[in-house]
Amino acid sequence: MSRYGATPGGTVTVPELGEMKRRDERIVMVTAYDFPSAKLADAAGVDVVLVGDSAAMTVLGHDTTVPATMDEMVMLTRAAARGAERPLVVADMPFGSFQVSDEDALRNAVRFVKEAGADSVKVEGAGPTVSRVLALVGAGIPVMGHVGLTPQSAAMLGGFRAQGRTADKALKLLEDALALERAGCFAIVLEAVPAAVAARVTQALSVPTIGIGSGLECDGQVLVLHDVLGLYEGRAARFVKRYADLATEIRGALERFAADVRAGAFPEEAHTYSIPEEELVAFEAALSDSRAGSRREG
């Protein structure tokens, strides 16, 4: 496993993502929150695995990303990092883990790298986040930025809605992205940004942009694994494209399993272990001896 530069089939590195932008090669990023999904993403040729704090919703059942804790994110990242050999692993810093101070941000980012095996971390927003990026990059931890719709501050943004839809807001978004680039971010997620605005931001930055609901002109695209696979039965966001309907598949499989169990149709011979006949006879003899013994004692 080489960590030195990108070789075809080798691991994806931070500089390689910049090279991909320069070569006009699209970057593929998907979320994963455990070993099997990260392994499948790797086998599918995905470049970047994001252990997103969307896990709070997709795997932990919360209504927003806000409740995700450091301990939960470290555990999920550790599992995903074991499965992702080639992709770059980005751990999402959960709400509260970097907002308070640069020191807090650094302490928590170090946990992701040392305890969980992440290659890098992602932080939402600009403003005070810029100083966090400087602190983390200064300590040698690669950082991915995230602007536009930043779910951790959805309440401030008036809900889960597109961002940068006026000239002023689009300009502010561009300035935020440039500030994050100057602070040392190696890539920036643009979430729910009008395609034309995302295209201008992508041109203005020398680091790659990874879009989600931000049009085709971004340098890469990311989607949440559960959306790609159709693991939710509810309505998805406008920008989601489902590539499978696994919720229906999984529910069907579980219904067939339950029906088989109830009908006595599972397990079949093929799913059952045997014992040699003479061992079974000896076992039954021992059983009746011990029953006779306990009757005598009683």
Closest to ligand KIV by CB, 31 vs 163, is 31
Phi/psi at 221 (nearest 5 deg)? -135, 145
CA-nearest of 193, 210, 194 to 144 is 210
- What does the per-residue mask of binding to ligand KIV show for 114-153, with x meaning CB under 6 A? --------------------------------x-------
**Complex with ligand KIV: residue 176 or 191, whichever CB lies closer:** 191
Minimum separation from the CB atom of position 150 to ligand KIV (A): 8
Number of amino acids touching ligand KIV (CB under 6 A)? 12
52's CB contacts (< 8 A; 6+ apart) are 31, 33, 65, 92, 122, 224
Tokens encoding 271 = 């799913």
- Backbone φ/ψ region at 122: left (φ over 0), alpha (ψ -120 to 50), beta: beta
* Tokens encoding 188: 């920036």
Q: Is 277 a catalytic residue?
A: no
- Contacts of ligand KIV in 25-44 (CB under 6 A): 31
Q: Taking CB under 6 A as the criterion, which residues in 223-262 touch ligand KIV?
A: 224
Residue whose CB is less far from ligand KIV, 194 or 220: 220
**Is 53 near ligand KIV (CB under 6 A)?**
yes
Of 47-55, 106-114, 167-175, 233-241, which segment contacts ligand KIV by CB under 6 A?
47-55
Q: How far is the CB of 203 from ligand KIV (least distance, A)?
A: 21
Q: In Å, what is the CA distance from 45 to each residue of 41, 75, 219, 233?
A: 7, 24, 17, 27
Residue 242 or 297 having the CB closest to ligand KIV? 242
Q: Which two tokens stand for residue 40?
A: 């499948």
**Minimum distance from residue 263 beta carbon to ligand KIV (Å):** 41
Q: At its nearest, how many Å lie between ligand KIV and the CB of residue 51? A: 8
Nearest-approach distance from CB 262 to ligand KIV, in angstroms: 38
Q: Of these, 16, 34, 42, 92, which contacts ligand KIV (CB under 6 A)?
A: 92
Closest approach, Cβ 286 to ligand KIV, in A, equals 58
Active-site residue identified among 25, 175, 191, 217: 191
Report the residue number, 10 or 236, with the smaller CB distance to ligand KIV: 236
Among 12, 28, 48, 52, binds ligand KIV (CB under 6 A): 52
Determine contact, residues 259/276, Cβ cutoff 8 Å.
Answer: no
Interface pattern 162-201 for ligand KIV (x via CB under 6 A): ---------------------------x-x----------
For residue 230, the Cα-to-chain-centroid distance in whole angstroms is: 15
Q: Which residues are catalytic?
A: 191
Residues within the interface to ligand KIV (CB under 6 A): 31, 50, 52-54, 92, 146, 189, 191, 212, 222, 224
